[in-house]
Amino acid sequence: MTKLIYVTNVSVDGYIEDERGAFDFGPVDAEVFRSHTDLLQSAGTFLYGRRLYETMAPWETDATLAAQSELMADFATAWQAADKLVYSTTLTAASTANTRIERRFDPTAVRDLKAAASSDITIGGANIAAQAFNVELVDECQLYVWPTVLGGGKPALPTGARADFELVDERRFGNGVVLLRYRPLGR
């Protein structure tokens, strides 16, 4: 059964970006980068909000990124191979192949997408993920917790809602990052 996996980088205090909108938690070492690449390679579709899509699009539109190393080339290849579904009220066209733009998040369409998918689906962007959480579509959270405190900003998880999870795995990286994998209870 395919899963809808929410994956994000998050500070120890629970934010994906600071109050200025920056999300530079520090240098990503090869071990963490490989982990992200492995996840991308296992997914066939990425669901994104506009801002995250625009952040990720250079992995297809800027060939100099992939040319920097074999690891970066692997990431670019994995990103380009997947289908992308971008939720935006402002984008009129996609800058990348295999990309469709939708004006609003439609839970029924996402359920249908999950049912038809042959590989996992990732969802990124706190606002889109919150909508998926609120209708119980998220099957797993993969949180890359960075050893930094931002003190405020955009929360990684929905506010104003209660959900209980069970820890299914954890992995520690040499740079202090911890990957926590959670599954909503009852699924």
DSSP 5-26: EEEEEEETTSEEE-TTS----S
Q: How many helices (H) and strands (E) does the chain have?
A: 7, 10
Yes or no: say if 146 and 177 are a contact pair by the CB < 8 Å rule: yes
Overall domain count for the chain: 1
Yes or no: say if 107 and 137 are a contact pair by the CB < 8 Å rule: yes
What value, to the nearest 5°, has the Cα angle with vertex 37 and ends 99 and 124? Answer: 50
Q: So what's the pLDDT on residue 23?
A: 80
Q: So what's the pLDDT on residue 68?
A: 95
Name which of 134, 125, 53 is nearest 86 in CA terms: 53
- Encoded tokens for 95: 């800058």
CA distances from 47 to 6, 18, 20, 153, 181 (A): 9, 22, 24, 22, 19
- Domain of 71 in residue numbering reads as 4-184
* CATH number for 94: 3.40.430.10
C-alpha span between 107 and 73 (Å, rounded)? 33
Yes or no: say if 45 and 121 are a contact pair by the CB < 8 Å rule: yes
- Residue with structure tokens 């919150």? 130
How do strand 15-17 and strand 154-155 relate by DSSP bridges?
Answer: antiparallel
Residues of the chain with pLDDT below 50 are none
Helix runs in the chain, H state only: 30-42, 50-56, 58-61, 63-66, 70-81, 107-116, 126-134
